[in-house]
Amino acid sequence: MICDKTRQALADLFPPTTEPEPGNEEKPSEGARSNGLVERDYRVHGYHLDAQLDPGQLLAAVTILDELAFFLESITGVDWPATEEMEVVYDFSRYDFDLCRVVLRTRVNRNTPDVPTITGIYAGANWHERETHDFFGIHFVGHPHLIPLLLPEDADFHPLRKDFQA
């Protein structure tokens, strides 16, 4: 089962102390939660593995998924002004009948939202990262061409930030 394999590969990223305790898994994913790997009920949530990591661990995790032949579904952001954080969410899936959907998420400070780019691993991340930069102002460090994609070329606003006023 590819899901077990992926879980084991991703679990290496987390020191044993940050493994979620059984009691923590019941908590809804809303709001801040500590880094770690959680298995979700596919029938309810629509994905299997949910890993929250540090921005620094991102490239290692994406490399693992690349080696396991995952493809990139999408990259997006979520703004959490209450905790002064910005979340970047990566969806991965596979061209396979052994179904496994993986969500990687990382949280950064809302005032300095710097996340490393994954365009070096997935060329298709280019547009997704530009779009996320448009909508949230998340800065993908090392992105080759981080200019507005969907918004006008002179756009200096980020419409999906919760404090955006039209």
Partner 1 sequence: MNSPIQLQPDETFILNVGPQHPATHGVLRVKMEMSGEYIVSAETVIGYIHRMHEKMGEIKTYPQFLMNLSRMDYLGALGYSHGHVLLVEKACAIEVPERAEYLRVVMVELNRIASHLFWFGAFVMDLGGFTPLMYALQDREHILDMLEAVTGSRLTYCYFRFGGLYNDVDDQFITAARTFIPRMRKSLKKYRRLVTDNVIFRKRLTGIAPLSPEMCRKYGASSAVARGSGINFDVRRNEPYSVYPEFDFDVPVFHAGDSLARYMVRMEEIEQSLRIVEQALDKLPDGPVMAAKKPKLIKAPPGDYYQAVETARGSFGIRLVSDGGKTPYRLKLRSPTYSNMHLFDEACQGMLIMDALAFMGSLDLVIPEIDR
Contact footprint for partner 1 (CB under 8 A): 28-30, 43-47, 50, 69, 71-74, 76, 78-79, 89, 91, 93, 95-97, 99, 101, 103, 122-124, 126-127, 135, 148-152, 159-160
Q: What is the largest CA-CA distance in the chain?
A: 49
Smallest separation (angstroms) from partner 1 to the CB of 99: 6
List beta partners, residue 106: 53, 88
Smallest separation (angstroms) from partner 1 to the CB of 57: 20
Q: Are 53 and 35 in contact (CB under 8 A)?
A: yes
Distance, in Å, from the CA atom of 50 to the CA atom of 78, rounded to the nearest integer, reads 15
Of 3 and 160, nearer to partner 1 (C-beta) is: 160
Nearest to 138 by CA among 94, 78, 96: 78
Smallest separation (angstroms) from partner 1 to the CB of 141: 20
Distance, in Å, from the CA atom of 49 to the CA atom of 33, rounded to the nearest integer, reads 15
Distance, in Å, from the CA atom of 147 to the CA atom of 151, rounded to the nearest integer, reads 9
Of 37 and 50, nearer to partner 1 (C-beta) is: 50
Of 79 and 138, nearer to partner 1 (C-beta) is: 79
Smallest separation (angstroms) from partner 1 to the CB of 72: 5
Smallest separation (angstroms) from partner 1 to the CB of 103: 7
Distance, in Å, from the CA atom of 88 to the CA atom of 95, rounded to the nearest integer, reads 23
Phi then psi dihedrals of residue 137, to 5 deg: 75, 20
Of 12 and 67, nearer to partner 1 (C-beta) is: 67
Of 79 and 108, nearer to partner 1 (C-beta) is: 79
